[in-house]
Amino acid sequence: MALKLLNPGLRPLGMFDLLDADAANLVGGEYVQLAEANPLVEGYAADVGQLLETDGNTVLFGRSSRTAASLGGLADEGIDEYGTLFGSLIGSNTGRATSQSGAVVIGPETNRGSGKVTVWAQAGLYGVNGQAGDPADSELAAMDANAAIRATTDSGLLGDGNVDQVGTYVGAMTDSSLVSTTNAAAGLDSETEYHAIWFLGNAQA
């Protein structure tokens, strides 16, 4: 699972820490919501320690289903697109750029590099992969346009359910490459790369 920025909100929230239990499991595109944790048992990035609750707990984000009127957004795993701490290597010796994206990732993802999570909290168009990194292995693959999307569990994964709505399903993106021959152009079945969704943001109650 990964988050892709299609037509996102103008600026993400980048000053918040992520719950320790969630940091290692973040795959991108999950719904995260503002929470608090005891700073004596929950680690946090050094420059966010002053952001505290009245009871002294640290203010941070954690994976969650949506609660109306609470501040939340889509978590960026910090790997795809603008990505890692030192970016991605585009050119290399023949045979070395062998990753799926065609570029060698340099350094850790931004979450591990900074200790913070980037949260896209404003309404906009985003792309998310399936739960297991395969779009076909997701509840999103069975949705129709304009279907309500919800963060179905405490892991923040997007799909169907009975909790508060997070966004609206737009459609599946297939064969988006403009620099290589797509499956469809080669006479094969097109492959779904990610699902486009409209995140509702925090303006709704």
- Report pLDDT digits (tens) over 68-83: 888 999 998 776 655 5
Residue type present at position 75: A
Give the chain's domain count. 1
Tell me how far apart the terminal alpha carbons of the chain are, to the nearest angstrom: 28
- Domain membership flag for residue 96: yes
Instruction: Supply the pLDDT for residue 126.
Output: 93
Query: Which tokens hold the place of 79?
Result: 């790997």
- Domain membership flag for residue 205: no
| Residue in the structure block whose two tokens are 């005891």 | 38
DSSP 170: E
Instruction: Supply the pLDDT for residue 200.
Output: 93
127 or 82, higher pLDDT:
127
DSSP H or E segment with residue 29: none
- Domain membership flag for residue 1: no
Task: Say yes or no to pLDDT of 100 above 60.
Answer: no
5, 29, 168, 181, 201 from 78: Cα distances, Å: 11, 11, 23, 27, 20
- Domain membership flag for residue 204: no
Task: Say yes or no to pLDDT of 18 above 60.
Answer: yes
Task: Say yes or no to pLDDT of 53 above 90.
Answer: no
The pTM of the full predicted model, rounded to 2 decimals, is: 0.80
Instruction: Supply the pLDDT for residue 134.
Output: 64
The pLDDT confidence band at residue 168, using thresholds 50, 70 and 90, is very high
- Domain membership flag for residue 29: yes
40 or 87, higher pLDDT:
40
Rounded to the nearest integer, the mean pLDDT of the chain is 77
Task: Say yes or no to pLDDT of 102 above 60.
Answer: no
183 or 154, higher pLDDT:
154
| Domain boundaries, position 13 | 6-199
Q: Looking at residues 132-137, what average pLDDT do you find?
A: 62
- Domain membership flag for residue 77: yes
